[in-house]
Amino acid sequence: EDQVTQSPEALRLQEGESSSLNCSYTVSGLRGLFWYRQDPGKGPEFLFTLYSAGEEKEKERLKATLTKKESFLHITAPKPEDSATYLCAVIRGSTLGRLYFGRGTQLTVWP
């Protein structure tokens, strides 16, 4: 059965304290892996797509990496405005247009 598991469920960091969020997956025929950010009361906002092992993408303080079994979202020197829930999702080649989501990591960055 296809699964997407995110850890930790919740993470509290002090401003400037770098860390990583994990997304592990067991999916046959992976076509891509997505990271989203969700603020309270809003819809998820797209961050990155990764397609193959070894790929990396960066945006401001965020860097996403992909291996054959998992993806990491690295947050460097986070700020309070980075506080949000971060969601990981995968897409299979056999069911394009359908995403399989993990439950998310709730990140809190305090000053």
**DSSP per position, 52-84:** STT-EEEETTEEEEE-SSEEEEEE-S--GGG-E
- Which member of 44, 66, 73, 82 binds another protein (CB under 8 A)? 44
57 binds another protein (CB under 8 A): no
Binding residues for another protein, how many (CB under 8 A)?
A: 21
Q: What angle do CA 83, 110, 105 make, to 5 degrees?
A: 35
- Which member of 15, 59, 98, 108 binds another protein (CB under 8 A)? 98
104 binds another protein (CB under 8 A): yes
- Cβ(56)–Cβ(81) below 8 Å: no
Residues lying near another protein in the complex (CB under 8 A) are found at 31-32, 34, 41-46, 49, 87, 89, 91, 96-99, 101-104
